[in-house]
Every structure is written in C-alpha cells, then in structure tokens.
Structure 1
Amino acid sequence: MLPPPVVMEEKLYAQHIEIEKLAKGNQRLANTHGTLRHDLATVNNELQLLHNHIADVKDEKEHKKRGIIDKISMMEAELEAARSIKMELQQARVEAQSFVTSRQELISKVQQLTRDLQMAHSDAQQIPSLISALQVMEKNYMAMSREVEKLRAD
C-alpha cells in the first residue's frame, strides 16, 4: 500500500528542504574550496618569494663570506710581509747600533788625535825658541872650543 498523498508530499517537501540545505552547504563548500584554492595559490606564491629571498640572502652571505676570506688572506699576506720588514728593521737596528759604536770609537780616536796634534803643535811652537837656544849654545860651544884650542896651543 502506498502512503497517502499528503504524507508523500510532506516527504517530498522534507526531501526538497534537505536537498536545498545540501545545495546551500555544497555551494558554501564550493565557495570555501575556491577561497582555499585562492589562499593556497597566494601562499604558494609567497612561499616561492620566500625561497627566492632565502636564496638571495644565502648568495649574499656567501659573497660576504668570500669577501671576508679574501680580506683575511690579504691581511695574512700583509702580516707576513710585515714580519719580513720587521726582521729587516731589526737587522738595520743592529747595524745602526754597530755604526753608533764605531762612530763613538772614531770620535774617541779623533779626540785623542786632536789632543796629540795640539801637543805636537805646542811642541812645534817651542821649536824656534829651542833653535835659538841651540844656536846660542852652539856659539858658546864654538867659543869655548876656540878657547880650549888656544889653551892647548899655549
């Protein structure tokens, strides 16, 4: 037996309401799905931008790292050159000290020679008076010699 038409209409009406609810739910779900797909696309784009930015940051970091390594290498080379210059400077300092010592010795010798020269000069200034005295003594000697010969002859 079939149910009465009123019951069938009510069932149809209830099913129709259920179908409308399901259609509205499906529409909301479709809208949500579209929004989520749009959000997913946006997030994927942002994620790609972040990946690109991370790659750029990594490249920049690597570039800076290489620059720092190059600077360190240059500084090490300069330090090594400075070490050799320092050694040369120390050697030059030793040589300069040797020259200073030699100079002091030479100054001392020059001072001694200057004193000796002054004494020789002083002695040389006495030569004329000594020659005069010698000439006087020679004259006296000659005079005495003649007197001694006269006395011998007598």
Structure 2
Amino acid sequence: MGSLVITQTPNNQINAKRRRNVSIFNSTIKLTQTTSQNSPYFYHKIEGLGSYWMAGRNRYPREAYDHRHGYLPGGPPSRAPAARPMPPHPAMLEEELEIQHHEIRRLLGENRRLVEDRVALQRELGAAKEELRRMNIAIADIQEQNEMHSRKLIENARKLEADLRATEPLKHEAKQLRAEVERLNSIRHDLSGQIKTIKKDLANLQTENKQLSALRTEHERIHGELMHARAAIEYEKKGGIELLEQRQAMEKNLVSMAREVEKLRAELTSSDVGPWGAGGSYGMNYRSSDGRFPPPYGDGYGIPTYHLGAADKGPLYGSSSGPRVGPDKSRTRR
C-alpha cells in the first residue's frame, strides 16, 4: 500500500490563512444576506460552505441535529466517552479553502454583474415607465388635436357646402364668361393672323428701308453728278458763246482779207510787170494756180491757202450750215 505523505505547514501561516478565510466568509455572508432575494442558489451554496467549514473546526452544523433538543439520530448519547472522528489534515483543508475562495470570488463577480444588470434593468424600466407616461400624455394631446381638427374640418365642410349653394348663380355667369372667352379667343386668333401679316409687311418695309438708304446715297451721288454736269454745261455754254464770237470775228477778218486779196489780184492782172513776165519761163507765177510750191506762209487763223484761180470759184470758208464741233471734253471734266 502506498504511504500517505502529509506536509506540515507553520502555525503562523495557517493562522493567517484562517483569519483571511474567516474575514472572506463573514463578508460573503453579509453580501449573501443583502442579495438573498436575487440569488437564493448562491445563499444555499454559502450556507453549505459554512457548515462544511464549521465541521472542519470540530463543530457540527445545525442541520446535523434532527430533534429540537439537539440529540443525534440514534437517540440521546450515552454517558460513555464517544470516539471523535479523525479530523482532516490542515493542508487539505487549506487547499479546499483555496478552491472555495476562488469559487466565492467567481460567484461574487457574477453576483455583482447580476446586481448591475438588475440596477440597469430597473433604470430602463423607470425610463420605459416615464416614456410610457409621456407617450400617454402625447397620445391624449394628439387625440385632442385630432378632435379639434375633425371639428374644424366639419365646420369647413359646412362652410363649403354653404358656399357651393351660394355659387349656384355664379355658374350661369361662368358659362356666359366661357362663351365670351371663346369669342375673345377667336378674335385673338384673327388678330394674331393680322399681326403676323403686319409683321411680314413690317419686315419687308424694313428691308426696303435699308434699300432706301442705299438708294438715297445713290440719289445724292447722282444729284451731285447732275449738279456738276449742269455747272459744266453752263461753263461750256459760256465757252461756246465766246468761241462763236471769236469765229464771227475771224469770219469778218477773213471776208475783209478776201476782199483785199481780190483787189490785189485785180491789180496784178491789170498791170503787166516785166519781172513777173520773166518768171514765166520757169512755168510758174507767184501764187498762181499752176504753182507747185505753196507760199512760205499760210493765211492767218489756221485757214489753208487757196490757189488763185481755182479758189476764186469756191467759198473761202466753210458753210455755217455744216456740223458744229462739240465742246472740248477736257473742259467738261473740270
């Protein structure tokens, strides 16, 4: 058989652990009494633990006695000394206490969480009750507002019915107004067509007006040219009159010169001069019709010299009925 090894611990450490466990147990009992309504299972666990702990200190728990007088189940004890049971080893008790201590901590944490959850739920419940109260108040207000609104709607409906009854004569006026509107629409349609034609005419007139501006400038230009031409014609008329006067004076001079020439010719024919006769051997006379050379100087005023004899039979200057030379173009351009 295997031997049981029992480790001995110092008394100071055992006493310190016992005092600590006692303090933990007392605090746990107080917490359990305050929260017994929330977690009865935890309370029974702690009560069982206390019974076991008291049995470890050679004290029987209260549940061990069935009778109220405190006798054991086998009847009253005999007077002979009873054999006490062998107490467990302190090391085993310490280990069991450590395990129970961890279990107590875990249960305490769960109990705290449950308490916090209960407090939070109570707060939420209070908030929900307050919200429900506010909702009831709001619902009452909404119902009152709905009733007021429905009353207003009923009153408005009655007023509208009265207004509809009062608007019966207005329907006839509305029909008349519709007929008048249709007539005015037809008139408006006709007027719109007339306006379109007027707009077209206006556009044509505007285009013509634009052309009139060009025509006006052309007219002004032509008028200026006409005035210039009139001035040139007047100038040419004045110049033509002067030329006519000069021509008449030249004709008079030519007539007088022709007469003098006739006189000289008569004198030459009547007189028989010797030197002129000697010149006949050459077959020519001075200014005779048979001469082959023209005189050294022509007649004045640009008139060609006529041969004697042949020139006597024709006129010395052109007829006045001939075509008259027009005015010089260089004068009209001034």
TM-score by length of 2: 0.28
Match in the other structure for 2:209: 72
The answer to whether structure 1 residue 84 and structure 2 residue 221 are counterparts is: yes
Cα distance change, pair 94–37 in 1 and its aligned pair in 2 (3 A): closer
1:96-111 pair list within 5 angstroms: 96-111=233-248
For residue 268 of structure 2, the aligned residue among 123, 131, 136 is 131
For residue 250 of structure 2, the aligned residue among 113, 121, 127 is 113
Cα distance change, pair 34–133 in 1 and its aligned pair in 2 (3 A): closer
- The CA distance in 1 between the partners of 2:265 and 2:172, in whole Å, is 134
Q: CA deviation at 1:85?
A: 0.9
Cα distance change, pair 33–107 in 1 and its aligned pair in 2 (3 A): closer
Q: CA deviation at 1:129?
A: 3.5
The answer to whether structure 1 residue 38 and structure 2 residue 175 are counterparts is: yes
Match in the other structure for 2:185: 48
- The CA distance in 1 between the partners of 2:209 and 2:202, in whole Å, is 10
How many residue pairs get aligned? The number is 111
- The CA distance in 1 between the partners of 2:197 and 2:269, in whole Å, is 104
Amino acid corresponding to residue 104 of structure 1 in structure 2: I
Match in the other structure for 2:195: 58
Match in the other structure for 1:143: none
Moved >4 Å (runs of 4+) = 28-31
- The CA distance in 1 between the partners of 2:167 and 2:245, in whole Å, is 113
Cα distance change, pair 41–135 in 1 and its aligned pair in 2 (3 A): same
Q: Which runs of 5+ in 2 are unaligned?
A: 1-164, 276-334
Q: CA deviation at 1:62?
A: 2.6
Match in the other structure for 2:323: none
Q: CA deviation at 1:96?
A: 1.1
Amino acid corresponding to residue 200 of structure 2 in structure 1: H
Match in the other structure for 1:122: 259
Amino acid corresponding to residue 86 of structure 1 in structure 2: H
Cα distance change, pair 33–86 in 1 and its aligned pair in 2 (3 A): closer
Cα distance change, pair 127–33 in 1 and its aligned pair in 2 (3 A): closer
- The CA distance in 2 between the partners of 1:121 and 1:38, in whole Å, is 116
Q: Which runs of 5+ in 1 are unaligned?
A: 1-27, 139-154
Amino acid corresponding to residue 268 of structure 2 in structure 1: I
Cα distance change, pair 30–79 in 1 and its aligned pair in 2 (3 A): closer
1:135 counterpart SS class? coil
Cα distance change, pair 107–38 in 1 and its aligned pair in 2 (3 A): same
- The CA distance in 2 between the partners of 1:131 and 1:36, in whole Å, is 132
Q: CA deviation at 1:77?
A: 2.8
**Greater per-residue helix proportion:** 1
> RMSD in angstroms over aligned alpha carbons?
3.2
TM-score by length of 1: 0.54
Amino acid corresponding to residue 110 of structure 1 in structure 2: R
Q: CA deviation at 1:29?
A: 6.7
Cα distance change, pair 69–131 in 1 and its aligned pair in 2 (3 A): same
